[in-house]
Structure 1
Amino acid sequence: MASRRPALRSGHLTLQIPELRQSRFQGWSVVWAAFVIAVFGWGVGFYSPGVLLLTLHASKGWPVAMISSAITAHFLIGAALIVYLPEAHRSLGLAQTTIIGAVLAGAGIVAWSVASAPWQLFGAAAISGSGWAATSGAAINAMVAPWFDRDRPMAIGLAFNGASIGGVMFPPLLILLIAKIGVEAAAVAVGIAMPLVIIPLSIFYLRRDPKGLGLAPDGLLIDSKPHVAAPSTRSPRKDLIKTKGFMTLSVAFALALFAQVGLLTHLLTRISPLLGENGAAAAVSMVTTSAVLGRTLLGWTIGGRDRRLAASANFLLQSAGVALMIISDAPTIVLVGCVLFGLGVGNVVSLPPLIAQHEFRPADVGTVVALVVAFNQAVFALAPAILGVLRDISTSYVVPFALAAAMQIVAALIVLIRPPRRSAGE
């Protein structure tokens, strides 16, 4: 299958260079595999802790601050390991690393469920955090990015929508299973299902990359895509961290994710008194359904538009939703706040790889994304514990939610601080 590139003119001669494509591009199959992996990765590693917080606090009477601290440990351990995820992918392979992550994540949720004392939650966090590192945002980006350049916003948006679907499915599913069969049996069911689904997908779709199939990104045949060769050497981490682009990108999204993770972890506990457990679970699903809509719209419309400006608007939209949840306990207003907050949830995860694609050399994008995700996670890992402590001290969620809204506004300002333009060929 061939399409026509724009004409290249030399003197009076006009040449039409055909853009050759593979008839069936495997990249979109990889995107769908990444989508399913993200469903489980986020469902188990990101959204389940909020359900476990509610369940363990209600069933065992353990303090919210104590359980929140274990959730913080889960995310901190993941952050420490994500820094080295690119090396794991290069040494073990993308498929094998993902398989190990799925097994650890499944074992981790079981370990959380069988804890008989609060201190045991921290051992469980070591297991679950390791699994989360191998199935979180940096991993999903690593699966998709080699296959796409021009179409990367759409591909990343679709793959990361799996994260939102995980949020739609897992909180109500876990609450239902816990009510029917108990927390231990529910965790075992999820812990077994995750590797059973992810292992075959990893074997069939993650063992190849486009270069091995003779392809360039977007399904083009390598020889049919003339371009200036990008430097293949990777910049040292210490040099990347010092750049203005990295600092503003990582700080802005760290603040936004601190607010987002803290809010999502405590959202069930915040709105359960208003809507009941089932209604609160439905509200969380509404948040993540809104996230799918928001991310899909962004992926299809952003094109070459200003991605930092889009991020700033996204943070402000979320802060408006949080403000509604602060000022009112009326169920309708709280639900509107959940929708506004939810519309930006998915984009906070998928925008950093898209901004990095524009601002860094191709050889450095994977490392930058892993560093940003790790830094962000190290910061937002503190959110469940800090918001939990503020809630216990103030005896309400007004103060912690107000802190989250303020951080989103600050993030909206920081992300607009732009790095110098990268010159062509860099």
Structure 2
Amino acid sequence: MIQNNKRWLYVALPIFFFWFFGQIDKMGISIIQTDQEFLNALGLTGDDRSAKIGLITFVFTISYALSNLFWGVIIDKLGARQTAILGLAVWTVTMIMAGLSTTYEMFLISRIILGLGEGMMIPVSGKFISNWFNRRELGKAQASWITGNYLGPALGALILVFIISTLHWQAAFFILAGFNLFINIPMFLFLTRNTPEEHPRVGKDELEYIRMTDFQDEAPTRSFTHDFRYWVVWFGMLVASFLFFGISIWLPTYLSEGRGFAQEGMKNITSISWLFALVFVLISGYLSDKTRRPSLMATVLFGITALFLAYAIMAPNAIIAGLCMGLAMGAQGGVFHLSNLFIVKFSTPETAGRAAGLMGFTNIMGGFSSYIMGWLRDASGGSFSSSIIMLIVASILGLLAYLFTLKKEAADCRVYNQTAERIG
């Protein structure tokens, strides 16, 4: 069993930790920005405090999104393994730089460089998955690394609150640099290779399975740029990024300042919210393989997001409101998973890096969301209501976009079912 499933050890495991620690690096700022010592040290005070906090994520996501475009091309030429090691080295340096920051401007520069380094995460993962896994197991393969995407921040919220409360906010960045240096980089160095053909421990039987195709998993015969469904998914990811970053970056602040939670309550609900996202990812991975209706699932998830956000505004109980925000974030985690599944579905192993890089560019909207939410909060005297209404409108736009894919998906599903019945 293990003999013919080494791809799960040599590729899925490193990518899991790649995202586990990478997301703590990326999303941990949502916890750190609630620490008063951090805010005072960087001068994040005054009437424009929320806008300045939002700008931290804005500059990160702008550089993250733009770098996705060139990383996609580089990965297709250089290879996923070498690119991952290079990016991880950049992360390590930027974490140290962030911990040493004494001014707001210096910290912003560290986040810009971090965005440039982390911009290869989606293209690297898409390239590895495309090269190492049979097309019939894409849902499970994608879920294996996207699990790290949400489990990392779920546990990271607990870890960072503990580090900040017992040590200092600067220690959090130094410890995160150590995780990359002593765990992530060695795993990519010693476990991974760009393709299974290059790996000395992958057997002939496993390689034949990885490369096997049949009627239900034929690779695309045309460029992904010519498939209108790819562009619908691309727009859906613009909306999902706007929603996900807007909720996740501001959730701890919303809980502590908007709903009056103490640090313990804020930490627990933030952690649970990331676990909600993980649950949605796992369910989406299973149902996408089972039903072959991922577009329908994405449509439903956008609708669920709008409903949870609406109830978060109306709920008088702080705990219920906080959980509704977490569930809305979790539903967008499911959309994110489905979108990355579409990347591999609509591309070939040769173009997967470029398809993922273009899709990763959509993260640029997360920066706008974070900044606009901060600006709206300042303009509303500290209230989050106008910001959440903006997110509800975005959810509806995502739902409407996916409606255009349902007819084609239903037809493809009928053809698949009829073919399956004839064969067996």
TM-score per shorter chain, which class? 0.7 to 0.9
- 8 Å CA contact retained: 2:126, 2:343: no
Letter in 1 for 2:125: I
Matched residue, 2:105: 119
Matched residue, 2:20: 39
Gapped runs of 5+ residues in structure 1? 2-21
CA-CA distance at 1:306 after TM superposition: 1.1
CA-CA distance at 1:203 after TM superposition: 1.2
| Partners of 2:311 and 2:219 in 1: CA distance | 48
Matched residue, 1:294: 280
The answer as to 2:172 corresponding to 1:190 is: no
Matched residue, 1:107: 93
CA distance 1:260–1:329, change in 2 (3 Å)? farther
Matched residue, 2:156: 170
| Partners of 1:58 and 1:270 in 2: CA distance | 19
The answer as to 2:28 corresponding to 1:48 is: yes
CA distance 1:216–1:160, change in 2 (3 Å)? farther
Matched residue, 2:241: 257
Letter in 1 for 2:293: D
CA-CA distance at 1:126 after TM superposition: 2.3
- 8 Å CA contact retained: 1:387, 1:400: yes
Deviations 1:200-225 (A, max 9, x none): 11012222412335989993517984
| Partners of 1:147 and 1:234 in 2: CA distance | 21
Bigger Cα displacement from structure 2, 405-414 vs 365-374: 365-374
- 8 Å CA contact retained: 1:230, 1:361: no
- 8 Å CA contact retained: 1:320, 1:340: no
The answer as to 2:251 corresponding to 1:270 is: no
Letter in 2 for 1:332: I
Alignment of 1:60-75 (within 5 A): 60-62=42-44, 63-75=49-61
Letter in 2 for 1:54: T
Q: Aligned to 1:207, what secondary structure does the other structure show?
A: coil
Bigger Cα displacement from structure 2, 194-203 vs 63-72: 63-72
Letter in 2 for 1:49: I
| Partners of 2:230 and 2:175 in 1: CA distance | 40
Q: Aligned to 1:119, what secondary structure does the other structure show?
A: helix
Alignment of 1:8-23 (within 5 A): 23=3
CA-CA distance at 1:115 after TM superposition: 2.5
CA distance 1:165–1:222, change in 2 (3 Å)? closer
| Partners of 2:169 and 2:321 in 1: CA distance | 29
CA-CA distance at 1:36 after TM superposition: 1.2
The answer as to 2:338 corresponding to 1:356 is: no
Alignment of 1:333-372 (within 5 A): 333-361=320-348, 363-372=350-359
Deviations 1:243-272 (A, max 9, x none): 522321111121122011011111111111
CA distance 1:88–1:205, change in 2 (3 Å)? farther
Which is helix-richer, 1 or 2?
2
Task: Give the number of the structure with larger relative contact order, counting CA–CA contacts within 8 Å between residues 6 or more apart.
Answer: 2
- 8 Å CA contact retained: 1:232, 1:363: no
Matched residue, 1:315: 302
CA distance 1:380–1:105, change in 2 (3 Å)? same
CA distance 1:420–1:315, change in 2 (3 Å)? closer
CA-CA distance at 1:398 after TM superposition: 0.5
Alignment of 1:321-332 (within 5 A): 321-332=308-319
CA distance 1:371–1:160, change in 2 (3 Å)? same
Matched residue, 1:7: none
| Partners of 1:218 and 1:350 in 2: CA distance | 29
| Partners of 1:258 and 1:324 in 2: CA distance | 19
The TM-score normalised by the length of structure 2 is 0.84
Alignment of 1:187-266 (within 5 A): 187-212=173-198, 219-221=206-208, 225=212, 235=223, 241=225, 243-266=227-250
The TM-score normalised by the length of structure 1 is 0.84
Matched residue, 2:129: 144
Aligned length: 397
- 8 Å CA contact retained: 1:314, 1:344: yes
| Partners of 1:168 and 1:246 in 2: CA distance | 30
CA distance 1:151–1:222, change in 2 (3 Å)? closer
Please report the RMSD computed on the Cα atoms of aligned residues, expressed in angstroms.
3.0
Bigger Cα displacement from structure 2, 89-98 vs 392-401: 89-98
- 8 Å CA contact retained: 1:95, 1:206: yes
Letter in 2 for 1:139: V
Aligned residues: percent identity?
19
Matched residue, 1:398: 385
- 8 Å CA contact retained: 1:172, 1:281: yes
CA-CA distance at 1:32 after TM superposition: 1.7
Matched residue, 1:378: 364
Gapped runs of 5+ residues in structure 2? 416-424
Bigger Cα displacement from structure 2, 96-105 vs 248-257: 96-105
Letter in 1 for 2:127: A
